[in-house]
Amino acid sequence: MTITREDIAAFADGELSGERETEVAAAVTGDAELAQQVQRHRALKAMLAEHYAPVLGQCAPERLTSLLAQPQPAEIVDFAAARERRESRRRLPHWGWIAAPALAASLVLAVFLPRQGGEASPYVDTQLAAVLDDRLVAVQSPREETRVILSFRSEEGRYCRAFSGRAGSGIACRDETGWKLEALGKGSHGDPTDYRMAGAGDAEILALAQEMAAGPALDEEAEKAARARDWR
């Protein structure tokens, strides 16, 4: 079997799959020289990434940001927009028959900071973080203790995921530190085996996701891609 330079580079980048990956991996394991080449490719990649990383932390010059400044809408436009939003909310009662009885009484949706060791932490615990890191919406069992309802990009460009479980539902967005809770609602109380994915407690969460989302919900491909980038 011939291993080309392209193979080695692609292997180092995680671009090979299936049989070819197995073959190259075996060759690399058995050959110190090849293993060293893989190592050099990875080291080069790390070096380049590090070299250009500081640009991300710099403030972009004003001549660039000003091109993208949002025109401030006049008050009257705001008013119309607000009405449009109110109406669109009213037009959302597709799940209203489920949610309506519960809305007034039980759903207080607010930024809620769970306490960890007495300190308020806006970040989700490791167990929930693991679910948010790994789970794809399309491939989860309805029996899961905590389900991810949908994923989207926020207006700031962060990846956010709405989740729901017996313990609570909410929206968390990924930043440098972890999954930061943006909202927390009540848990969904339904039997997990019934056909209802969006339970009563999820209605407000979904409505809030609508407010926060900068675009459509991620589909499975987009979720996979986002997961591969650690949701950042």
Partner 1 sequence: MDETSALVRLILRKAETLNPSFEKDLLALLPRLRRFAIGLSGNPSDGDDLCQMTIERALANRSRWEVGTRLDSWMYRIMRNIWIDEGRKKTRSLQTFVSEEAGIAIGSEGAQEAAVELGNVDRAMQSLPPDQREAVLLVMVEGYAYKEAAEIVGCPVGTLNSRLVRGRDALMAELGEAS
Binding flags for partner 1, 153-192, as an x/- string (CB under 8 A): x-xxx-----------------------------------
Sequence letter at residue 185: G
Region of 1-9, 21-29, 104-112, 113-121 interacting with partner 1 (CB under 8 A): 1-9
Q: Is 217 an interacting residue with respect to partner 1 (CB under 8 A)?
A: yes
Helix (H) or strand (E) holding 152: strand 146-153
Binding flags for partner 1, 64-103, as an x/- string (CB under 8 A): xx-xxxx-------------xx--x---x-xx--------
Cα separation, 227 vs 110, whole angstroms: 27
* Single residue of 148, 172, 209, 226 touching partner 1 by CB under 8 A: 209
Cα separation, 98 vs 116, whole angstroms: 33
Output the six-digit token pair for 185: 């609602």
β-pair partners for 153: 159
Q: 56 vs 104, which CB is nearer to partner 1?
A: 56
Q: 30 vs 61, which CB is nearer to partner 1?
A: 61
Q: 56 vs 120, which CB is nearer to partner 1?
A: 56
Residue 107, helix vs strand vs coil: coil
Cα separation, 142 vs 41, whole angstroms: 42
User: Closest approach of Cβ 26 to partner 1, in Å?
Assistant: 21
Cα separation, 217 vs 209, whole angstroms: 9
* Single residue of 9, 38, 102, 107 touching partner 1 by CB under 8 A: 9
Q: Is 141 an interacting residue with respect to partner 1 (CB under 8 A)?
A: no
Q: What is the CA radius of gyration of the chain?
A: 23
23's CB contacts (< 8 A; 6+ apart) are 1, 3
Using CA atoms of 197, 129, 123, 176 in order, give the dihedral in degrees to the nearest 10: -120
Q: CB atoms < 10 A from the CB of 107, how many? A: 16
Pairing of strands 119-120, 169-174: unpaired
* Single residue of 2, 17, 58, 141 touching partner 1 by CB under 8 A: 58
Q: Is 210 an interacting residue with respect to partner 1 (CB under 8 A)?
A: yes
Q: Is 18 an interacting residue with respect to partner 1 (CB under 8 A)?
A: no
**For binding to partner 1 (CB under 8 A), which residues are involved?**
5-6, 9-10, 13, 15, 40-41, 43-45, 47-49, 51-53, 55-58, 60-61, 63-65, 67-70, 84-85, 88, 92, 94-95, 142, 149-150, 152-153, 155-157, 195-198, 206-207, 209-211, 213-217, 229
